[in-house]
A and B are shown apart, each in its own frame.
Chain A
Amino acid sequence: MGMGIEKKLGKSPFRLFGISAICAIVPFGCTPATNLGTSSSPSSLAPNQSGVLVYGSGGSPVNLEPGNITDGNSIIVQDQIYNRLIEIKPGTTDLVPGLAAEWSVSTDGKTWTFKLRQGVKFHDGTDFNAEAVKFNIERWWDPNQPQGYRNEGKIYEIWQQMFGGYKGDPNSLLQDVKVVDTSTIQLRLKQPFAAFPAAIASGFYGIASPTAIKKAGANYGKPGSLAIGTGAFVFKEWRTGDRVVLEKNPHYWRTGLPKTNQLVIRFITDPAARLAQLRAGQIDFTVDLAPDQIKELQADPNLESVPRPSFNVGYLALNPSYAPLAKPEVRQAIAQALNQQAIVKAFWGNLGQNDAHFLPPSLSWATTLSLQPYSFNPPQAKQLLAKAGYPNGFPLELWYMPVSRPYYPTPKPIAESFAADLSAIGIRVTLKTKDWAAYLEDRRKAPGYQAFMMGWTGDFGDPDSFLYAHFGPGGTSDIGNWKNDRVFQLLNQARATSDQTARGKLYAEVDELLHQQALRLPIVHAQPLGAKRKNITGWVPSPLGTEPFESVEKK
């Protein structure tokens, strides 16, 4: 049919315009004839069978420049283009070699040596080597590195947040970066930091081609510019607001991968629209659906739900600087008054787990497994309150967030359940909320909120990412600058210990202390909900939030 129109219209541009005008006026009058009538035309209406793998992302990436951005929509694309020195075993938080074939630490725990994989090339044909790694790390860390383009507004703030500061900053964990030979690089730290390999393995730190960065300048990683790594897919095109198109890297160093020749990442902000796209077969797999969409998903025989292992915690913080909450017994009473299991069942279904630990289940090696969550026991809770001097309860302002987060998809009704349970033991709850940015900020202004809902998704696959940030020095300003010398000591000791079993024991003691203190009551470890069409295989979602799609295949 398409050919037919072309022939009939001949060469006159005016006739062409005439047809266009008619088509434009009656868009749906013209199109079915030209599209549906042609069996050979790539119909956009049938499920996409073209062999192109299409991923429905929750939004557009911000940019494709490693180290400069932390949002999941950017990292998921970067995961396809770049490799990191150390990577993650699919579906776990275990470390596996990436661009570093092996790594080791000096006996004082301060010098990390990475032996790099040899013969690897960037997509632009340049060599991957120790100089390239040094170039990347110095961009993030050294404010004077010329290709960091900090004068053009680049910040690399995640480096500061994870590693204490930039070069020259007294709090900077990193002391220096040294190229030993073309395939060996050494990073010297000021203090031992056992979680360093896990931290540098986080999705933020893909290694990019220095040549490409120098060529593209400050525009590197923006739409219309370059994004050159060593990963399974080569960046081809970024259509603003619409899609990123990637193609197989024929020289990928992991032999036999990727399994698909073309990968298209489409940006679809609205979860309902994403699920509709998946059901219509226009995308093959997607993430970040709302928990209540699981019913619709399960009702469609062409789809399968794919829960991501949890790497978050949704908690209820009890601020000891509010007098009634100063005693641990009162906080324990609150823990016993909440029917946590029932609440999790009601709001997350099978996509949430309630346990005794602040750490998510994928980090169970760092917990005391025998620890049981506080059981639902209102009479005992009432007794505890009475013993602590509050036989008639007390008033409590409980803050809930105004936005949906992965760990608390529907904060308000969950807060109402908390309030109902607490009123049964005489605690008179007033529910409060405010704008999200103000909510985040004001909780740290003394005296802080009395009780509030909050949560956390780990930045990297180590207990340190959860525990130090919430219970270490500087991490407790929202719970009245709570300070426990033993906890601080254990957390610092764990940072300085490289043996995993020994670290596990230290963290397990922290786990017990925190359970007894009941300051940030872990309510849920939620599993973000993904989904795929049945003919998609090889997708193993990582607890860390994003993963390479090099093994994903369309059958």
Chain B
Amino acid sequence: MWIYLTKRLLSLLPVLLGITLLVFAFLHLIPGDPAVVLSGERATPEQLASLRTQLGLDQPLPLQYLAFLGNLLRFNLGNSIISGIPIAHEIQTRLPASFELTVSAMLVALVLGIPAGVLAAVQKNRWLDNLTMSSSLIGVSLPVYWLGLLLVYLFAVNLHWLPPSGRLSVEAGFNFQPITGFYVLDALLRLDWRTLADVLVHLVLPALTLGTIPLAIIARITRSAMLEVLSQDYIRTARAKGVPEFRVFFQHALKNALLPVSTVTGLQFGSLLGSAILTETIFAWPGIGSWIYDGILARDYPVVQGGVIFVSIAFVLINLLVDLSYALLDPRIQY
């Protein structure tokens, strides 16, 4: 186990190095520089030159990259060009919001996706199966941006059932002092039920929006994994022994079908941290995604670099955790 873990961690190094190189190259090789974006229509060539010197943009690219790597090794992601705020601090401040949203979206996906997949497998090729699978096809294909706005217009603007965006209503915000930044947890710690309710209603629409794609994927994977397991000999044996269908599905089959589902769940969880960019922007969610979005628009190099590298590392680490979890889910696997 420990040898495996060490090997895996070492093999991450080139991956991470590759990520930093790619992110750096993409940002710096596209035309135009942030000094121009910062000054907008206003800048004259002399002012641009002095601004570039101050931002360190007049250095050759390889030197800029080495400086960037050196800082990274010291866990220094630099400061935002525009606000001057340290990237690490910004990530720390915004991570709880993104994490809370991602967990909620994954819960939506799992709680709805697994039963839907099981149902579809059980009802294979019947109308329920067709309905579930075609809805999940739609779910995978829906543009998040469009779906988010649609939900907002339906549930917030027209029906007034749910708030259209944000993490907390204005009123709740006045008296609520976060402790950890995870608002659900903070409201619980403070035994503040009104705020808890407020926080949870604010989570519904963004979590549904962000959860739609993983929901659809999980439903489809669960279905196919279930179908495969259901054709195994031991299921026939169980049925022959007279085990009730319900127990066959949930006790014998589902447990064994969960392995591929857990892989996909891990992958989706990692990618949600990054793909929340659009969802967070539509829902004015103060997380990492909306921050990266603003950074891209403003061409704030350190913000985009820091944000993307952080999300990539999180993705890689989550995948490692998923791999390790196989040993727990399947006793036959040993590292």
Contacts and interface: CB of A to CB of B under 8 A. Distances in A.
Interface in A20-52: 20, 23-28, 30-32, 34-35, 38, 41-42, 44-46, 48, 50, 52
Interface stretch (A207-215, A269-277, A337-345, A513-521): A269-277
Contacts of A23: 184, 196, 200
A266 B48 CA distance: 32
B115 interface: no
Contact of B284 (A154, A266, A441): A266
A279 interface: yes
Contacts of A28: 200-201, 204, 208
Contacts of B97: 241
Nearest to B184: A24
Interface string A330-364: 00000000000000000000000000000000000
B212 to A, nearest CB: 14
A12 to B, nearest CB: 12
Given A42-B172, A44-B202, A241 B94 contact: yes
Interface residues on B, range: 35 or more
11 contacts: A28-B204, A44-B172, A44-B201, A240-B90, A240-B286, A262-B174, A269-B284, A270-B284, A437-B299, A441-B36, A477-B45
A454 interface: yes
B104 A24 contact: yes
B164 A276 contact: yes
Interface stretch (A57-65, A85-93, A416-424): A57-65
A245 B174 contact: yes
B87 interface: no
B188 to A, nearest CB: 5
Given A44-B169, A242-B166, A276 B152 contact: yes
Contacts of B207: 27
B160 A35 contact: no
A62 B160 CA distance: 32
A236 B158 CA distance: 33
Contact of A50 (B157, B171, B193, B198): B171
Contact of B201 (A45, A266, A280, A441): A45
A68 B97 CA distance: 29
B196 A34 contact: yes
A222 B84 contact: yes
Contact of B170 (A27, A50, A154): A50
B160 A59 contact: no
Nearest to A403: B297
A232 B216 CA distance: 51
A444 B45 contact: yes
B269 to A, nearest CB: 15
A373 interface: no
A-B pairs with lowest CB-CB distance, top 4: A437-B32, A241-B286, A44-B169, A2-B193
A440 B282 contact: no
Given A153-B79, A435-B32, A437-B34, A24 B103 contact: yes
A10 B68 CA distance: 53
Chain A, interface SS category: mixed
Nearest to A24: B184
Nearest to B32: A437
Pick from B31, B161, B283 the residue with the most CB of A within 10 Å.
B31
Given A62-B83, A157-B51, A280-B157, A25 B107 contact: yes
A54 interface: yes
A41 B194 contact: yes
Interface in B148-194: 149, 152-153, 156-157, 160-174, 184-185, 188, 191, 193-194
B84 A276 contact: no
Nearest to A53: B170
Nearest to A470: B41
Nearest to A17: B188
A434 B30 CA distance: 11
Given A42-B194, A266-B170, A280-B163, 11 more contacts: A24-B104, A42-B172, A45-B160, A52-B174, A152-B84, A241-B97, A269-B290, A273-B152, A273-B282, A279-B157, A280-B157
B47 interface: yes
A555 to B, nearest CB: 18
A439 interface: yes
Contacts of A459: 42
Contacts of A435: 30-32
A167 interface: no
B39 interface: yes
B33 A243 contact: no
B197 A35 contact: yes
B293 A269 contact: yes
Nearest to B85: A222
B44 interface: yes
A454 B163 contact: no
A438 to B, nearest CB: 4
A223 interface: yes
Given A20-B184, A23-B200, A242-B167, A439 B32 contact: yes
Given A154-B84, A157-B39, A436 B111 contact: no
B286 A44 contact: no
A153 B163 contact: no
Interface in B65-88: 79, 82-85
B170 A456 contact: no
A27 B204 contact: yes
Contact of B47 (A44, A157, A266, A469): A157
A456 B282 contact: no
B120 to A, nearest CB: 21
A52 B171 contact: yes
B43 interface: yes
A267 interface: yes
A282 interface: yes
A218 B191 CA distance: 37
A28 to B, nearest CB: 4
A389 interface: no
A455 interface: yes
B281 A59 contact: no
Contact of B162 (A45, A50, A157, A222): A45
B111 A25 contact: yes
Contact of B107 (A16, A27, A44): A27
Contact of B41 (A5, A16, A440): A440
Contacts of B139: none
A387 interface: no
Contacts of B30: 435
Contacts of B161: 32, 45
B147 to A, nearest CB: 13
A474 B83 contact: no
B329 interface: no
B137 to A, nearest CB: 24
Interface in A442-458: 444, 454-457
Contacts of A487: none
A23 B193 CA distance: 11
A481 to B, nearest CB: 12
B203 interface: yes
A24 B107 contact: yes
B287 interface: yes
Contact of A280 (B156, B191, B285, B291): B156
A260 interface: no
A311 to B, nearest CB: 14
Pick from A157, A434, A438, A459 the residue with the most CB of B within 10 Å.
A157
Contact of B173 (A46, A239, A477): A239
A319 to B, nearest CB: 16
Interface string B16-50: 00000000000000111110110111111101100
A147 interface: no
Given A153-B79, A435-B30, A437-B32, A46 B197 contact: no
